[in-house]
Amino acid sequence: MGVVVGPRVIDAGVSLLSVLISPVPVAAGYPSPAQDYFDGRIDLNEHLIKDITSTYVVRVSGESMEGAGISDGDELIVNRALEPKDGSVVIAVLDGELTIKRLRVTGTGVVLQAENPAYPDILVPSVADLVIWGVATRCLHHV
Amino acid sequence: MRHMPQIAHVDVNCFYASAERAFNPSLEGRPVIVLSNNDGCAVTRSPEAKALGIPMGEPWFKLAPRAKQWGLVALSSNYELYGDISARVMELLGRYSAWLEVYSIDEAFLGVKGAPGELLALGRDMKTAVRRNVGVPVCVGIAGTKTLAKLANKWAKNNPAFDGVCHWDSVPAADREALMRRLSVIEIWGVATRLTKRLNALGIHSIHDLSRADPVMIRDRFSVVMMRTVLELQGTPCIPMEEERIGRDQLIFSRSFATPITTAAGMRQVMSVYGQQASARLAKHGLQAKVLTAFAGTSHFNPKDTAYPSVCVPLPMPTADPVLLTKAAHALLPRICEGIRYARAGIMVTDLRPTGNQAPLALFENPHEERHVGTLLEDVTRRYGRGSIGLGHAGIRGGPDWTMKRDMLSPRYTTHWDELPLVKAA
């Protein structure tokens, strides 16, 4: 035989532990050259989610943000704790609905901008009239 | 100047309704109720629903005919959503104090220290952060004992002048006394209707009366528990950590460790033990759970390297099975950082329902329930070491949820990929 296989991956809940214990099959008598280099798999949570308490995933419905590379059916990673700034892609509350737009804050006012010429921008009288639900940080675009 | 430790009690306002509103802004300002299991009766009412005169526990069939006329929105209990929102709130609160006790799905006690001004600022910070990060409103009560912290929180909720945060000791003594004179003993934590009658018979009507009662007399006539309440009202902290509680729709196990746990392997054992305890306790009460939340935390004696990981796991079907519950609790393990000294951990099971409701379809019966598989696994593991035995596909994944009537269920926005919140690009 000569091959020792590490603890089996049972399911998503326990796989990480198993993986860390023995990432690769270990050949008895001859150490695997990969063994020392294994440092854990890429974990998307670690790279895409800055704060687990404030990060949500939402799904886009509609084409008004095509120009920003955000298409109908794409998923967005949204951080509610980020301060929205001029240029942020935001989820705003408009008429009781979650709506995605690009936020433009200028000297003359606040605009919720569509990224598709077929859709109108929305003028907001003042920042006080605006409820921002969260700031989009990533788009999971379907290719 | 040294300050005595204080206790902050934080809870989410109208938790279930607020969790729904966080993802459905159109519910803002409208009367909203959330119904109990099987869409039975109202268990959460938004202030607008309370204003309509809808009593707690009102059966849905009585309300349904008038719902449209009132603009009343009724929703089934979305425990997957509430469990995740709860886990987020608790994790966030854990960042404000290294001493956190998850008391129920929507409330926690935290140990806090500082000058009155600092405590007020801390309370406001917590309130702002939970609202901003998670999206739900909380109120905060801070006092020298758990009982007074609960009372301070109630005051913060009902008196807009506090803006949601009340530090008991900062309120003028005359105002505190006036409040305690005004409120009946039934308003105090741990005093139920039956006890109220017996207290009234002794001439104890208000919270103020109770706070002036002789603790020893109270112990002799009632119980040690009631004596503790009296002492706590007088400012002496004496309600300890509770390790197991069963509430209306949840069961919590949590415990501090004698020696900190520093490895995922150690936490795995703890979670296995809790999973089995929860199973036994659910079985004893004839209940099954649909959602499990697991959490851990570092000690307040070690303010460095604090961590409060938590995770919410929707179970594939209602269960009291030790194997399924243990597996679910193990979802916490990837969140455990090796080397961090965890001083406590716990699990909470929610969305409880009677076992008897399950239709007797042999196909969907869980094969582990009667065979003590969980105990066997632990025994084998203890004897032969971790990894000596493992689980295959325990139970049935994604079995149909035919036991539960949830006709008005909102999307499970944060736990099911197919039910993510939709944002309009129009």
**Model pLDDT for residues A2-42, shown as the tens digit of each residue:** 333 333 333 333 333 333 444 445 556 666 777 677 777 88
- Binned at pLDDT 50, 70 and 90, residue B372 comes out as low
Distance CA B325, CA B321 (A): 6
Per-residue confidence (pLDDT) for residue B300, from 0 to 100:
63
Q: Does the pLDDT at position B387 exceed 50?
A: no
Distance CA B345, CA B267 (A): 8
Distance CA B140, CA B123 (A): 6
Question: Which residue would you say has higher pLDDT here, A33 or B223?
Answer: B223
Q: What is the mean pLDDT of residues B265-269?
A: 87
Give, for B264, the enclosing helix (H) or strand (E): helix B264-284
Residue A15, both tokens:
């796989």
Instruction: Kindly give the pairing relationship between strand B73-75 and strand B32-35.
Output: parallel
**Model pLDDT for residues B106-136, shown as the tens digit of each residue:** 999 999 999 999 999 999 999 999 999 999 9
Cα B174 versus chain centre, distance: 33
**Regions of chain A short of the pLDDT cut 50:** 1-24
Residue for token pair 């039934």? B186
Per-residue confidence (pLDDT) for residue B245, from 0 to 100:
59
Mutate to test the interface with B, among A42, A43, A53 (most CBs of B within 10 A): A53
Question: Which residue would you say has higher pLDDT here, B139 or B357?
Answer: B139
Distance CA B86, CA B138 (A): 12
Residue B92, both tokens:
């966030």
**Model pLDDT for residues B300-341, shown as the tens digit of each residue:** 666 677 788 888 888 888 899 989 999 999 999 988 888 888
Q: Does the pLDDT at position B374 exceed 90?
A: no
Residues in B touching A70 (Cβ below 8 Å): 425
Nearest one of B158, B251, B148, B244 to B190, comparing CA atoms: B148
> Residue B333: which of A13, A62, A100 has the nearest Cβ?
A13
Q: Which of A50, A71, A101, A126 is catalytic?
A: A101
Would you give the DSSP letter of residue B202? T
Nearest one of A1, A35, A2, A3 to A19, comparing CA atoms: A35
> Residue A80: which of B135, B330, B331 has the nearest Cβ?
B135
Would you give the DSSP letter of residue B41? B
Q: Is A64 a catalytic residue?
A: yes
pTM for the model stands at 0.75
Residues in B touching A93 (Cβ below 8 Å): 25
- Measured in residues, chain B has a length of 426
For B106, residues 6+ apart whose C-beta sits below 8 A from its C-beta are B11, B12, B15, B86, B89
Structural contact between residues B331 and B415, judged by C-beta atoms closer than 8 angstroms: no
Q: Does the pLDDT at position B394 exceed 90?
A: no
CB contact under 8 A, B390 and A8: yes
Q: What is the mean pLDDT of residues B250-258?
A: 79
Mark which residues 83-122 of A lie under 8 Å from B by CB. Answer: 91, 93-100, 114, 119
> Residue A99: which of B24, B391, B423 has the nearest Cβ?
B423
Structural contact between residues B349 and B281, judged by C-beta atoms closer than 8 angstroms: no
Q: Does the pLDDT at position B389 exceed 90?
A: no
Per-residue confidence (pLDDT) for residue B1, from 0 to 100:
60
Q: Which of B178-187, B286-295, B391-400 has the lowest mean pLDDT?
A: B391-400
Nearest one of A124, A52, A16 to B133, comparing CA atoms: A52
User: What is the chain B residue with the closest CA to A71?
Assistant: B425
Per-residue confidence (pLDDT) for residue B353, from 0 to 100:
82
User: What is the chain A residue with the closest CA to B89?
Assistant: A53
Nearest one of B358, B99, B420, B36 to A58, comparing CA atoms: B420
Nearest one of B199, B192, B201, B329 to B254, comparing CA atoms: B329
For B331, residues 6+ apart whose C-beta sits below 8 A from its C-beta are A12, A13, B294, B311, B313
**ipTM > 0.85 (yes/no):** no
Give, for A5, the enclosing helix (H) or strand (E): none
A141 touches chain B (CB under 8 A): no
CB contact under 8 A, A17 and B391: no
Q: Give the three-state DSSP class for A133.
A: strand
**Model pLDDT for residues B147-160, shown as the tens digit of each residue:** 999 999 999 999 99
CB contact under 8 A, B420 and A133: no
Per-residue confidence (pLDDT) for residue B375, from 0 to 100:
60
**Model pLDDT for residues B14-71, shown as the tens digit of each residue:** 999 999 999 999 999 999 999 987 788 899 999 999 999 999 989 999 999 999 999 9
Per-residue confidence (pLDDT) for residue B238, from 0 to 100:
82
Q: Is A22 a catalytic residue?
A: no
Question: Which residue would you say has higher pLDDT here, B173 or B223?
Answer: B173
Give, for A102, the enclosing helix (H) or strand (E): strand A97-106
